[in-house]
With several copies, the nearest count.
Chain A
Amino acid sequence: MVKLTEWRGKEIFRRYGIPLPRGRVVRSAEEALAGTETGDIPLPCVIKAQVLAGGRGKGGAVRFASTSAEAAEASRAILGLEFKGERVKELLLEEKLPIARELYVAITLDRAARVPILMVSAQGGVEVETVPDAELLRLPIHPFAGLTGFEKRRAIRALGLAGPQAKSLDGLLDRLWRAFQHEDAELVEVNPLAVVGDGVVALDAKVSIEDDATFRHPEYADIRDDRTPLEEVAREKGIAFVQLEGNIGVIANGAGLTMATLDVLQQFGGRPGVFLDLGGTDDPAKVTEAFLLMARAKPAAVFLNIFGGVTRCDTVARGLVDAIRQVPPAEKFPLIARIRGNNEEEGIAILRSAGITSLHELEESAKAAVAAAGATV
């Protein structure tokens, strides 16, 4: 999922003709000063940290300014802050509008119904999870019918809009649906959607694009504001890599097996750190790269748990043996290996020739990994 910061989401909204406050993104207090002085950013204005995490208002990552000097000062204060783990590098400065009401509108996927779903609530501007079910209208959108007029009418009725405001929302819903479809979005969310005068304006924008669709949207492929440097390296090599708090490195293949491995490690008191999903591969070099990447994360011990299907056991064993030879002695760590499935015998034999024993049972292997990591802490 390519998560976009507010201003990037709004760039998309702008392309689809969704009404937005005037303003722009700045990366320094000087830019904020200049932008407000030239009128590029109307005053009074709102200054918002461009981070992915929610709760910016309460968390001090949103401020207001009536003059250019105040805008510059507020910008200086927010830039560089760490907000829920993210460093603030960009701000969005926008005109402060006379808001009559705050609504909620989003389109996302309803997995169970296998259709996109439009959700609206008259209670916008708050955490929508807290809004009672009765206050939230969910409208399935059949992909073969698209967003229909009668669904829009239901949404408009639920929000209690009429006249030009209703017309404005009608247009916004069409545009939001087009953006959702044509940008291969997983989510387009406007919270709050403000009623201002005769129309509606998107005050915020949460847009995420489907990873798998970047082959037809190369413009999103490089936007990753939410990865650690090691995760970024892994992504470039096509390896799923997640950093947690613990000290046991886990290399497995497939999301389900990886999660089950973490479950079992934790059951025996282990603290999984980096985990790394090889996915399906039969390239030994990719296994080698994955292992060396793991080494860079300096785990206390590594548990390799592979069930060979597309990924054959001998491939993994070959890549692993190659990698171990490349790890400098000073950086070595205990390795517990369990390889099962396709070409199991060949894989076990290759490991044995390099002095590595492959264990058979998941339970015993997990216990061994926990013990090894504990011993080195």
Chain B
Amino acid sequence: MSVLVDGDTRVLVQGITGHQGTVHTVQMLKFGSKVVAGATPGKGGSTVEGVPVFDSVEEAVGKTGANATCIFVPAPFAKDALLEAVDAGIRLAVVVTEHIPFHDMLTMYHYARLKGARIIGPNCPGIAAPGKAKVGIIPNVVFRPGRVGVISRSGTLTYEIVSGIKEVGLGQSTCIGLGGDPVVGTSFVDALPLFEADAETDAIVLVGEIGGTAEEEAAEYIHHHVEKPVVAYIAGHSAPPGKRMGHAGAIIARGRGTAESKVAALEAAGAKVARFPYEIPGLVREMLGKPASP
């Protein structure tokens, strides 16, 4: 068992006829994902890299049994694409699109929840379980099957870290890039229980950033519910505070949101916190009780 995706995942690509859609369809196929359909209004009947394209998600699901979607459509239309997927019965939606207004994402999130669907993203690299399936855009080269689960708010930093794990001879069970937008469909707290329950995951790497309080909430969850070893890294401890605007954000954060707050919370929860990305693989080895690689 991997997390959320496996060999039965049948991927639909919304916006497959766009440049990114096509490029990443090829990459997903190379990874070994079953990309069974694409959807682009008005392009039904064509194919992209051998994948049949449909005018609507409903048709794509009906004809191909797609059960997960990867959304590349431009921000102004992303909400509609997600609602269409959820209404057609899709239960896992990876939203790669960036710059989606959070007001739209609020509707997307709560509507998906109402219909029992999960969103990963938006503005995210997606999810991949090496040897099984990838839904998203994480470069194939960084992966190697293994027993480390990775959950990250970042994009390229995730690649960096996943690649580092591979380079020391370890591998990944499943890697989820949650996306760094203000409102995400799946947060650390939503993803942690999946990895904790996953029989193929021995250790969890959590990659956070400054801002928001998702890492503090993750620490709280880890403290109470996670038995597996957790290695964390928080990017941005050297970043300058942004120009301030109003007080509302500060009220919500109440002193949380800084790198110090996140690191302290995670350490108090029993996680090992790396100061720099390249320290992560070593800490994972250490927590798994494995010797350093040759």
Contact = CB atoms under 8 A, between A and B. Distances in A.
Contacts, number: 224
A252 B159 CA distance: 13
A165 B75 CA distance: 25
A215 B57 contact: no
Interface residues of A, number: 79
B166 to A, nearest CB: 12
B130 interface: no
Nearest to B183: A114
A149 B153 CA distance: 30
B246 A263 contact: no
Interface stretch (A11-19, A293-301, A319-327, A340-348): A340-348
B244 A53 contact: yes
Contact of A149 (B55, B77, B207, B209): B77
Given A253-B156, A256-B154, A108 B245 contact: no
A216 B101 CA distance: 10
Interface in B219-255: 233, 235-240, 243-252, 254
A142 B236 contact: no
Contacts of B153: 256
A187 interface: yes
A254 B57 contact: no
B100 interface: yes
A69 interface: no
Contacts of B23: 282
Given A112-B217, A206-B246, A309 B138 contact: yes
A111 B247 contact: no
Contacts of B47: none
A260 B214 contact: no
Nearest to B216: A112
A351 interface: no
B36 interface: no
A364 to B, nearest CB: 10
A230 interface: no
Interface stretch (B61-69, B197-205, B274-282, B286-294): B274-282
Contact of B114 (A1, A144, A153, A262): A144
27 contacts: A109-B102, A111-B212, A112-B212, A112-B213, A116-B106, A117-B252, A127-B247, A133-B254, A145-B87, A145-B111, A148-B87, A149-B80, A153-B55, A153-B56, A187-B246, A212-B75, A213-B101, A255-B154, A259-B238, A262-B236, A307-B157, A308-B139, A309-B125, A340-B159, A340-B163, A341-B156, A342-B139
Q: Which 10 A-B pairs have the closest CB atoms?
A: A256-B154, A256-B157, A254-B156, A259-B236, A149-B80, A150-B84, A213-B101, A206-B246, A259-B235, A266-B238
